[in-house]
Amino acid sequence: MSLQDFLDTYSSPLEALSSPVRPGPVFPYPQEHTNWRDEQRAWAQTATLFNQSWHMNDLYLSGPDAKTLLSETSVNGYDTFSGGRAKQYLAVNEDGMVIGDSILFGLSDELYAVVGAPATMNWLMFQAEQKGYDAHLELQPGRLFAGEGPVPKRLFRYELEGPNAQKILENAVGRSFDPIRFFRMGEFEISGVPVQALSHTMAAAPGAENTGLEMFGPEEHREEFLQAILTAGEEFGLVRGGSIAYGSTLAESGWIPLPVPAIYTGEGLRAYREWLPDPGFESRGVVLAGSYRPDDVECYYRSPWDLGYGHMVKFDHDFIGRAALERMADEPHGRKAWLVWDPDDAQRITAGSELGRPEQYRPLDPFRMSALHHDEIHLGDRMVGTSHVHAFTVNVGWISLGVVSESEVSEGDVVEIQWGDHDGGASNPYLPDHVRTTIRATVRWSSPGPRS
């Protein structure tokens, strides 16, 4: 069975992707190591350590055409890309609509790794196979997308997040050194274990630089590394973070991780849909939910500008979708925004989600990522965008990430999120029946950051 076979059993792609399945991914880590509130607070005040080893897919690329394959399938520029660097790989279709994004690591000048959700890896493997690139690709699927069971991985992976990250790393390495530049990588040994680290941040801390480090090394030395970094962090307030806190980093950092892959329509992509398997991420992992329900699945597609990636588009090389993006470059775009919820509305929704209340709203669940929700955003009597992620953190309260019309919305505007599924949960047995309501939220172009 292929993705196309799956789609053909429904009247439209929109109906196929609206089929109810049990909501939310189950991360292969403890939900909490202490309690999720303290784990959230730590990345703003001291430091939090997250295990990232098992849930993401890893795709390794090598061979003479590996870099060419990456360049010709993504909007990114590669003139200066080499070992010791990283970038956010972004793939679009011929119409310039986003298929997916992942983190691309230059492990050396001959070996690259793409890490994240399956959409980009599947696209890369298809292009390599169909167009005959001289490249070797090795996929190591994560447990989040491959089901339960052992996940053989080449590398362990941990995220050290917070203002004390640099102090902890220096203590673990045993010497002081300059912070690694943003989206560059450094190499060192920790307790005899060779480790590489990417400098980036998963939970924004305004005014702080280099607050996040993604560290990885040989899987067989996981325990030595883990004990060494935990010991080094004791005096600096390091705590371990579980999957509840991990999922909520999205809202603070501003990353919309799972846009609907722009692959479900068009004859030009039929061969790709026939190549993709069912069951697979694109057939069973993309489930549309929320108050937004257009007539066409293409209304869910997003451009790089919509997701905050316009600066990544480089017209210095040939790539799939270049001509379409050149035409779109000077047009009005959507803009990614933080939506800070009105506290009274958040309290009202929380109370109205509890058992026994006369008016029940769609449940607020801070324990699950909500990236595939699409809720309407209104300004006055106009729909001006959609929200995709909602979460609570003790640092900022309830917030959403959304995409709004940059020509209609300004920072500081108070918009209304239309909260509740389009049919009140009637078609989804995993949601209670509920009534639609609104949540007032203030638009911010940059992260709200921790409360002072």
- Give the tens place of pLDDT for each residue, 14-38: 999 988 766 566 788 999 999 999 9
Task: Give the pLDDT of residue 354.
Answer: 55
The answer to whether the beta carbons of residues 428 and 330 sit under 8 Å apart is no
Among the listed residues 12, 17, 335, 312, the one whose alpha carbon sits nearest the alpha carbon of residue 183: 312
Query: Is residue 414 included in any domain, yes or no?
Result: yes
In a domain, 200, yes or no: yes
Between CA 245 and CA 25 the distance in angstroms is 14
Residue 35, class by beta-carbon neighbours within 10 Å (0-12 exposed, 13-18 middle, 19+ buried)? middle
Instruction: Write down the pLDDT at residue 210.
Output: 53
Instruction: Pick the closest to residue 254 from 409, 401, 87, 38 (CA basis).
Output: 401
The two structure tokens encoding residue 345 = 């509305």
3-state secondary structure of 363: coil
Check whether residue 271 and residue 127 sit in a common domain.
Answer: yes
Task: Dump pLDDT digits (tens) for 396-429.
Answer: 999 999 999 999 999 999 999 999 998 888 888 8
Positive/negative CA dihedral, 419, 424, 430, 432: positive
CA–CA distances in Å: residue 348 to residues 353, 357, 359: 9, 11, 10
**Largest Cα–Cα separation, the chain:** 65
Confirm whether 295 is domain-assigned.
yes
* Residue bearing tokens 């394959």: 69
Sign of CA dihedral 239, 243, 244, 248: positive
DSSP states of 163-204: TTHHHHHHHHHTS--PPPPTTBEEEEEETTEEEEEEE--SS-
Evaluate whether residue 29 is within a structural domain: no
407 shares a domain with 377: yes
Q: Which domain holds residue 228?
A: 36-55+154-249
Write down the H helix ranges in 26-91: 36-45, 66-72
Domain boundary among 300, 327, 354: 327
Question: Order of strands across the sheet with 155-161?
Answer: 185-190, 193-199, 212-218, 155-161, 47-51, 238-241
Residues 278, 138: one domain? yes
Q: What is the DSSP string of 396-424?
A: TEEEEEEEEETTT--TT-EEEEEES-TTT
Question: What's residue 358's pLDDT?
Answer: 54
Instruction: Say whether both 348 and 276 belong to one domain.
Output: no
Report yes or no on 452 lying in a domain: no
* Strands in 63-110 per DSSP E: 86-92, 98-106
pTM over 0.75: yes
* Residue 372 near residue 258, CB atoms below 8 Å: yes
Domain match, 260 and 244 both: no
**Rounded Cα gap, residues 440 and 25, in angstroms:** 28
Please report, for the domain that includes residue 283, its CATH number: 3.30.70.1400
Contact 46, 114 (CB under 8 A): no
Joined together, the tokens standing for residue 383 give 């729909």
Cα distance between the two ends of the chain:
54
Cβ within 8 Å of residue 434, ≥6 positions away: 353, 360, 361, 362, 363, 420, 421, 424, 425
Q: Which of 215, 249, 283 delimits the end of a domain?
A: 249
Alpha helices in 234-276 (DSSP H): 243-253, 270-275
Number of domains composing the chain: 3
d(CA 438, CA 176): 51
CA–CA separation, 381 vs 363, rounded Å? 25
Q: Considering the domain boundaries, does residue 109 fall inside one?
A: yes
The token duo for 202 is 């998963």
- Strand, coil or helix: what is 2? strand
CA–CA separation, 377 and 452 (whole Å): 28
Tally of residues, the chain: 452
CA dist., res. 361 & res. 242, Å (int): 27
CA distances from 392 to 51, 128, 347 (A): 21, 41, 12
Q: Is there a single domain that holds both residue 11 and residue 102?
A: yes
Residue in the block written with tokens 């292969």: 28
Considering the domain architecture, whether residues 170 and 293 belong to the same structural domain is answered as no
Residue 181, in any domain of the structure: yes
Shared-domain flag, residues 19 and 129: yes
Q: Are 27 and 247 in contact (CB under 8 A)?
A: yes
DSSP state of 432: -
Q: Based on the fold, state whether residues 40 and 185 are members of the same structural domain.
A: yes
CATH of the domain at 159: 3.30.1360.120
Q: Is residue 28 in a domain? A: no
| Structure tokens given for 83 | 């070992």
Which backbone phi and psi does 47 adopt, to 5 degrees?
-170, 150
- Report the alpha-carbon distance of residue 132 to residue 260 in Å, rounded: 27
- 200, 226, 249 — which closes off a domain? 249
On whether both 159 and 140 belong to a single domain, the answer is no
How far is 349 from 367, CA to CA, in rounded Å? 16
**Token code pair at residue 299:** 């209304």
Q: Are residues 238 and 303 in the same domain?
A: no
- 423/344 same-domain check: yes
Looking at the chain, the whole-number percentage of residues with pLDDT higher than 70 is: 92
Low-confidence ranges of the chain (pLDDT < 50): 206-207, 452
